[in-house]
Homo-oligomer: A and B are copies of this chain.
Amino acid sequence: MTDITIIGTGNMGSAIAKRAAAAGRSLQILDRTPENAARLAGELGSGVISGGLAEPALGDIVVLALYYGPAQEVVTRLRGSLTGKTVVDISNPIDVETFDSLVVGPGTSAAEELAKLAPEASFVKAFNTTFAGPLSEGSVDGQPLDVFIAADSEEARKQVADFASAAGLRPLEVGGLRHARELEGFQLLVMALQANPAYENFNWGTALKILG
């Protein structure tokens, strides 16, 4: 039995895998380059299985640790094996030419668009406001990172919230999947601040948190 499948072995995939391993969850790592998946699995310790995108996703939770474009491709490709699973979209559909707008329209979100590609899966938006560095640590300034979670399925939302809690993070459930719009929209601003030389202390290592 596998708890969580992580697809993608970049900074975010590695950070989420590290949190999942810390939480004691059993893991499968998949990547379009199977050697990358095997390398990350090896770093995480024994018992972590790995493979390429021809492998079926085995986890109850499948995390798409991918940019929006590749996530669209992967969901289309793996659609059959995602039926009944909780699929986590972490992407930020930023227009990287301008860093000033999203590539999805104002009345939708990357998460909702991905959900349309695999209607038999339960999509969850989460981890799009956590940068890889702090996520890898699990905390910032000694406080647990906030993980904002949006999903239509209460069960799927709870599954991801339980994972976040077990991983030492603080889950904040913000409602239905359409609230991915606000999560993606605000992260556009946070990312633009990282890229803005006027804020030299921000260097892709900040954390968005509700204090108090």
Complex interface: chain B residues within 8 A of A141 (CB): 211-212
Q: Is A107 part of the binding interface, using a Cβ–Cβ cutoff of 8 Å?
A: yes
Name the residue on B nearest A150 (C-beta): B189
Asked whether B212 lies within 8 Å of A134 as measured between CB atoms, the reply is: yes
Asked whether A198 lies within 8 Å of B210 as measured between CB atoms, the reply is: no
Q: Is A208 part of the binding interface, using a Cβ–Cβ cutoff of 8 Å?
A: yes
Complex interface: chain B residues within 8 A of A134 (CB): 212
Q: Is A207 part of the binding interface, using a Cβ–Cβ cutoff of 8 Å?
A: yes
Q: Oligomeric state, in number of copies?
A: 2
Asked whether B212 lies within 8 Å of A205 as measured between CB atoms, the reply is: yes
* Interface window among A47-55, A56-64, A111-119, A173-181: A173-181
Task: Give the residue of B176, B185, B206 whose beta carbon is less than 8 angstroms from that of A181.
Answer: B185
Q: Is A209 part of the binding interface, using a Cβ–Cβ cutoff of 8 Å?
A: yes
Asked whether B202 lies within 8 Å of A175 as measured between CB atoms, the reply is: no
Complex interface: chain B residues within 8 A of A199 (CB): 172
Q: Is A100 part of the binding interface, using a Cβ–Cβ cutoff of 8 Å?
A: yes
- 30 residue pairs bridging A and B, Cβ less than 8 Å apart: A100-B175, A106-B106, A134-B212, A141-B211, A148-B189, A172-B193, A172-B199, A173-B198, A174-B189, A174-B193, A175-B192, A179-B189, A181-B185, A182-B182, A182-B185, A182-B186, A182-B188, A182-B189, A185-B186, A190-B210, A193-B210, A202-B210, A205-B212, A206-B211, A206-B212, A207-B211, A207-B212, A208-B209, A209-B209, A209-B211
**Interface residues in chain A, defined as those with a beta carbon under 8 Å from any beta carbon in chain B:** 100, 106-107, 134, 140-141, 143, 148, 172-176, 179, 181-183, 185-186, 188-190, 192-193, 198-199, 202, 205-212
